[in-house]
Amino acid sequence: MTLASVLFYFFATIAVAGGVLMVTRKNPVHAVLFLVLNFAGVAGVYLVLNAQFIAVVQIIVYAGAIMVLFLFVIMLLKLGGEESVFARQPFVKTLSIVIAALIGAQLTYVFFFAAPDKGTMVDMETGVYPGTVKAIAETLYTKYLLPFEAVGFTLVAATVGALVIGKKKLED
């Protein structure tokens, strides 16, 4: 087993454990913190798969900005403990156990019996991995330059429009 395989399984275990712990916590702040752990595990998996740009975006955007927003909303709403759905509707617990067993059986089949693709991840024309910053930049600034610029102009126009609308309301 190579180092890449060991790291992949390590980060995948962290991601799955973070996801399970996030779903099972009753305290919403603890759930958000376990979601950050899940995002860190997913970013580690991206790093092992040579998708450095996606890993960095995963940490900056999701674990950084989105989680801060979630925490602020949770703290502003002052959420407390919720009543369990299983207490009100006991059949939901049975249904969720059956669905979890089916998903577990599918994952077991894929993990032990499905043959992985033996293809290479390296683009033969350019010689770079598809998820690296170089590959994304080359594609973005050559093939998709016009749509990229159009999105930039649209975002600038939306920002200017929001400032104009906001300034009119402040003057009133």
Distance CA 3, CA 12 (A): 14
List the CATH code of the domain at 1-82: 1.20.120.1200
Q: Which residues of 2-26 are buried (b: 16+ CB within 10 A; e: fewer)?
A: eeeeeebeebeebbeebbebbeeee
pLDDT tens across 31-56, in order? 888 999 999 999 999 999 888 888 88
Query: How far is the CA of 117 from the CAs of 25, 31, 114, 120, 121, in angstroms?
Result: 37, 35, 9, 9, 10
Whether the per-residue pLDDT at 159 is higher than 80: the answer is yes
Q: What is the pLDDT of residue 89?
A: 81
* pTM exceeds cut of 0.75: no
Distance CA 58, CA 64 (A): 9
pLDDT tens across 141-154, in order? 888 899 989 999 99
Q: Where are the domains of the chain?
A: 1-82, 83-115, 132-172
Q: What is the pLDDT of residue 84?
A: 67
Asked if 68 and 76 touch (Cβ cutoff 8 Å), the reply is no
More confident residue, 171 or 57: 57
Name every residue whose Cβ is closer than 8 Å to that of residue 172 and which is 6 or more positions away in sequence: none
